Amino acid sequence: MKNFTTETLQQAITDKLMIHFGKAPEDATEAEIVRACARVMRDRIAIRGVETRTKTRKQGDKQVHYLSLEFLMGRSLMKNAYNLGSLKMLNEALTNMGFTPADVFEAEPDAALGNGGLGRLAACYIDSMTTLEIPATGYSICYDLGIFKQKIVDGQQVELPDSWKDVGEAWLLPRPEDTKWVRFGGTVRDQWDNGYLHIVHEGGQVVRAVPCDMEIAGYDTDHVNTLRLWDAQPTKQVDMSMYSRGEYMKATEEEAMAEVIAKVLYPEDNHYEGKSLRLKQQYFFVSATVQHIVQKHVEAGRPLTNFHEYNVIQINDTHPALVVPELMRIFIDEAGLDWEQAWDITTQAVAYTNHTVLAEALERWPQDLFQTLLPRIWQIVQEISNRWQAKVDNHFHNHSITADMAIVWNGEIRMANLCIAGGMAVNGVSGLHSEILRKDVFKNACNMEPHKFKNVTNGIDHRRWLSEINPEMDSLICELTGSNRYLSHADDMMKLDAFADDKTVLAKLAEIKHANKVRFAKHAKKTRGVILNPDSIFDVQVKRLHEYKRQLLNVVHIISLYQKLQDDPNAITVPHTFLFGAKAAPGYQVAKRIIHLINSLSDEIDHNPACKGKLQVVFLENYRVSLAEQLIPASEVSQQISTAGKEASGTGNMKFMMNGALTVGTLDGANVEMHGLLGDENMFLFGLHAHEVEQLIRDGYDPQRIYQENATLHRALDALRNGFRDGVRYDDLYQRLVYGNHGSCADEYLLLADFADYAKAEARMSATYADPTAWNKMSLHNIARSGLFSADRSIADYAETIWHTNYRK
Ligand code: B1N
């Protein structure tokens, strides 16, 4: 199909505006223009979608089904225009129509159907699967409300609902013809029919799952994939008969209950809450998805026995783990296969990615809740559990291993063990993380079935996270590598290494960074009224607020710098701006206190004349994908300082590296692989290694001793305890670090143990910054070697080692 020209695009947008909103361009609001543009792009992508599906069907290609409770898509307008090769035309068309393109792009709300890294990873992967021309579909829930909007009021987080659909709906294509029905509760009984035993599951509540599709265009390809978002609606037939019987209240209740399933994304990141509604969400989207996949396979005229040769189901953490029993249910109850056949197919079709080793994030559903809500699935899970236990017993003859690997145990269903038993592959998301899974978290399972355990290091969509958001850098890379080939072959960026001693290139790099800083400072002033100094170091920590990510370590260090500056006004020679952005789960009180603390410290420093032009702390409200896109190109220092062994991979670390920021970090997650590429000389490494963390905890960790022995740390913690000029005290956080409180042990994440080394790394970083040539050279090496972290490479790894599908090379 021909690309848009500026004229045809402008005409198409004008037509849409008139047909949908009855408006001429000069009367349209920015939101209306966004919706019209989205519809134009959507139509164009939809046509290609039809062509892609016809081709896939004809060729009989294996399909990938990527299931995730989260897809953190962000904005789509610029992305789609970019991928369709129409970004230039769109800019011109909008300008011709009297709009400022940047303002139009800014008016699109983020589709924020995710919490953080796990959800954003799914979004990057669907882009790469499409660009690599893999026939793939993403599946999730069409939440009415995405992750909450964060407001800071009196220094504290307040959550507001995020109704993204008013505008965002323009991207969605409702597909009522593909509706599925999902049953909750009710009773299960056996029934004999003509000598055959049938399972009858009846009663309870049936919810309608209606797909809303978001079509995904890839880069430099006509291939289109689909992100299928299931919306929950009440079952109409039941409602009508209830109304006619006069059961108004009951009917209305059921209606409300059905709709609540797709109402809101759970805002916990790296944390499991055993809520009944969450389990409903999981089964709702899993059941609808599995019914759909199996139906398509059967409609293609294929027997179920080769299901796994044509389909692979990748599950994003254990949240969609119910695919295992749901496949079994459909194969056995609906298609009449026997247990062995059904198990054989299921265990060859499903693959599980683990994203965390934090105990509080591992899903374990209470048996009574599970049994009431999903009676048939519960029977199947019990059978899976019994057979698995027999297999484990037979292999190890060891009671404690049986207990460790059990699926149903002590009244709970352990979802990770279910995924290991029911799948063909289990992968971690970075080298270190996968090693921890093999050697520690899943060591028994790995002993029994070592072939299942793999690693696929995470990656990011480098077209969005570099080319699109940092256009000057994109031009420089194209110029230096001789073409734009790097857009589809990210390892081409390696060629930049050759320019490490080229003064002009280094100067250009610095110039681009500075321009991005100035642009971000303008944006921050316009949207938030904060004044930033573009001639200071932009030292950034943006990610979800979690104790293991150690924002508090960064804060304690800043307090110590502040104190140093009070002792000696010349202590800071390079002006330093510390930027934070983070949402805290609404029920995570400690995380909320840390946000408050950052704001108190920011206010304190703002009011101290000695800090003027030298030290500033800024908390950026409502950190989200679209803010990251503005901030990352302007960042110089990337804080990746989690306790070693806790951050499975991290993906923010990759985005910063790709945009030339230098990392201050621990040897954790994908930082380890970054270090392998960069060496000690191109990043600022500090802190205990994962095995030393383990060792220290085993030997008995004593933060009080460190507090007593390190005078700088002692003084900073005392200041934190007493608070700052706003009068808020942080004794609770102080206690948590030094003595332990609320039943937690003291300093669970070893901030005090790593403090001294962290301060040294920060000092090395500041000293290096004072030498622009050295700094720019490091920055260049970071960009050059970041190609490994393209999601295209991750997806190629999945295709080769787990999915066994073809992809565009
Ligand atoms: O997944 C990312 C990793 O880069 C991060 O290191 C990891 O922390 C993140 C329960 C999670 N792991 N687990 C979650 C999210 C929501 C939820 O309800 C757990 N998120 C991660 C991508 O691999």
pLDDT 10s digits, 498-545: 999 999 999 999 999 999 999 999 999 999 999 999 999 999 999 999
Is residue 445 in some structural domain?
Answer: yes
Question: How does DSSP classify residue 163?
Answer: B
Residues 438, 583, single domain; the answer is no
* Ligand 1 atom closest to 266 (CA): 18
Residue 670 has, within 13 A of its CA and on its CB side, a CA count of 26
C-alpha–C-alpha distance, residues 762 and 769, integer Å: 10
Residues 255, 365, single domain; the answer is yes
Q: Tens digit of pLDDT for each residue in 683-703?
A: 999 999 999 999 999 999 999
Active-site residue among 62, 462, 593, 655? 655
Residues 535, 391, single domain; the answer is no
**Which pLDDT belongs to residue 236?**
62
Residues 452, 535, single domain; the answer is no
**Angle, CA of 517, 522 and 526, to the nearest 5°:** 145
Helix (H, G, I), strand (E, B) or coil at 795: helix
Residues 533, 449, single domain; the answer is no
- Substitution site in 140, 355, 654 for ligand 1 pocket (most atoms within 8 Å of beta carbon): 355
User: Is there a contact between 344 and 332 (Cβ–Cβ < 8 Å)?
Assistant: no
* Ligand 1 atom closest to 648 (CA): 6
Residues 431, 539, single domain; the answer is no
- Substitution site in 68, 118, 143 for ligand 1 pocket (most atoms within 8 Å of beta carbon): 118
C-alpha–C-alpha distance, residues 313 and 63, integer Å: 9
Ligand 1 site residues, Cβ closer than 6 angstroms: 115, 117-118, 121, 268-270, 317, 355-356, 361, 429, 458, 647-651, 669
- Substitution site in 272, 277, 356 for ligand 1 pocket (most atoms within 8 Å of beta carbon): 356
One-letter amino acid for residue 118 of the chain: L
456 CA from centroid of ligand 1 (Å): 15
The residue with tokens 């990748």 is 314
Residue 379 has pLDDT above 70, yes or no: yes
Residues 645, 756, single domain; the answer is yes
One-letter amino acid for residue 619 of the chain: F
Residue 243 has pLDDT above 70, yes or no: no
Is residue 512 in some structural domain?
Answer: no
Q: State the angle between helix axes of 471-481 and 503-528 in degrees (0 to 180), rounded to the nearest 10.
A: 160
Is residue 760 in some structural domain?
Answer: yes
Is residue 194 in some structural domain?
Answer: yes
The full DSSP string for 600-640 is HHHHHHHT-GGGTTTEEEEEPSS--HHHHHHHGGG-SEEEE
C-alpha–C-alpha distance, residues 618 and 540, integer Å: 10
Is residue 217 in some structural domain?
Answer: yes
How far are the Cα atoms of 184, 229, 284 from residue 278, in angstroms, in the given order? 13, 16, 10
- Substitution site in 120, 269, 583 for ligand 1 pocket (most atoms within 8 Å of beta carbon): 269
Nearest CA to ligand 1 atom 14: 270
Is 495 in the active site?
A: no
C-alpha–C-alpha distance, residues 50 and 70, integer Å: 25
* Ligand 1 atom closest to 271 (CA): 10
Residues 439, 556, single domain; the answer is no
Q: Residue 194's pLDDT band (boundaries 50, 70, 90)? A: confident
C-alpha–C-alpha distance, residues 263 and 269, integer Å: 18
C-alpha–C-alpha distance, residues 102 and 87, integer Å: 12
270 CA from centroid of ligand 1 (Å): 5
Mean pLDDT, to the nearest integer, of 269-282?
96
Is residue 489 in some structural domain?
Answer: no
118 CA from centroid of ligand 1 (Å): 4
C-alpha–C-alpha distance, residues 641 and 668, integer Å: 8
Structure tokens at 241: 């008969």
Residue 1 has pLDDT above 70, yes or no: no
* Ligand 1 atom closest to 433 (CA): 6
Instruction: Evaluate whether ipTM surpasses 0.85.
Output: yes
Residue 27 has pLDDT above 90, yes or no: yes
**Percent share of the chain, pLDDT over 90:** 95
Residues 453, 533, single domain; the answer is no
Mean pLDDT, to the nearest integer, of 458-477?
98
Q: Residue 197's pLDDT band (boundaries 50, 70, 90)? A: confident
The residue with tokens 């090769």 is 85
Mean pLDDT, to the nearest integer, of 391-408?
98
489 CA from centroid of ligand 1 (Å): 27
Count other Cβ atoms within 10 Å, centred on residue 568. 9
**Angle, CA of 437, 440 and 446, to the nearest 5°:** 60
Is residue 291 in some structural domain?
Answer: yes
Closest to 376 measured CA to CA, from 180, 232, 189: 189
Q: Which residues pair with 212 in a beta bridge?
A: 174, 229
Residue 602 has, within 13 A of its CA and on its CB side, a CA count of 23
Q: Is 606 exposed, middle or buried (0-12, 13-18, 19+ CB in 10 A)?
A: middle
Q: Residue 252's pLDDT band (boundaries 50, 70, 90)? A: confident
**Which pLDDT belongs to residue 245?**
74
Active-site residue among 180, 292, 544, 736? 544
Is 88 in the active site?
A: no
* Ligand 1 atom closest to 121 (CA): 22
354 CA from centroid of ligand 1 (Å): 9
Distant-in-sequence, close-in-space partners of 60: CB < 8 Å, separation ≥ 6: 300, 310
Contacts 24+ apart (CB under 8 A), 477-480: 477/783, 480/505
Q: Tens digit of pLDDT for each residue in 485-495?
A: 999 999 999 99
120 CA from centroid of ligand 1 (Å): 10
How many structural domains does the chain have?
2
C-alpha–C-alpha distance, residues 749 and 755, integer Å: 11
352 CA from centroid of ligand 1 (Å): 14
**Which pLDDT belongs to residue 3?**
85
Helix (H, G, I), strand (E, B) or coil at 115: coil
Is 655 in the active site?
A: yes
Residue 2 has pLDDT above 80, yes or no: no
How far are the Cα atoms of 219, 504, 671, 687 from residue 466, in angstroms, in the given order? 14, 21, 19, 29
Nearest CA to ligand 1 atom 5: 650
Mean pLDDT, to the nearest integer, of 92-121?
97
117 CA from centroid of ligand 1 (Å): 6
Active-site residue among 75, 280, 543, 614? 543
**Which pLDDT belongs to residue 240?**
64
Structure tokens at 603: 């206010």
Mean pLDDT, to the nearest integer, of 374-384?
98
Active-site residue among 65, 223, 463, 549? 549
**Which pLDDT belongs to residue 237?**
57
Residues 126, 272, single domain; the answer is yes
Range of the domain at 121: 6-458+796-803
Residues 444, 537, single domain; the answer is no
**Angle, CA of 101, 105 and 107, to the nearest 5°:** 115
Is residue 463 in some structural domain?
Answer: no
Residues 752, 610, single domain; the answer is yes
Residue 561 has pLDDT above 90, yes or no: yes
Nearest CA to ligand 1 atom 10: 270
**Which pLDDT belongs to residue 796?**
98
Mean pLDDT, to the nearest integer, of 357-372?
97
Active-site residue among 16, 39, 319, 355? 355
Active-site residue among 52, 353, 651, 666? 651
User: Is there a contact between 685 and 667 (Cβ–Cβ < 8 Å)?
Assistant: yes
CATH, residue 729? 3.40.50.2000
**Angle, CA of 658, 660 and 661, to the nearest 5°:** 105
Mean pLDDT, to the nearest integer, of 293-317?
98
697 CA from centroid of ligand 1 (Å): 24
Mean pLDDT, to the nearest integer, of 223-247?
81
- Substitution site in 66, 69, 270 for ligand 1 pocket (most atoms within 8 Å of beta carbon): 270
Residue 248 has pLDDT above 80, yes or no: no
Residue 128 has pLDDT above 60, yes or no: yes
Average pLDDT, the chain: 96
488 CA from centroid of ligand 1 (Å): 27
Q: Residue 352's pLDDT band (boundaries 50, 70, 90)? A: very high
Nearest CA to ligand 1 atom 19: 270
Between 356 and 254, name the one with better pLDDT.
Answer: 356
Is 58 in the active site?
A: no
C-alpha–C-alpha distance, residues 725 and 723, integer Å: 7
Is 543 in the active site?
A: yes
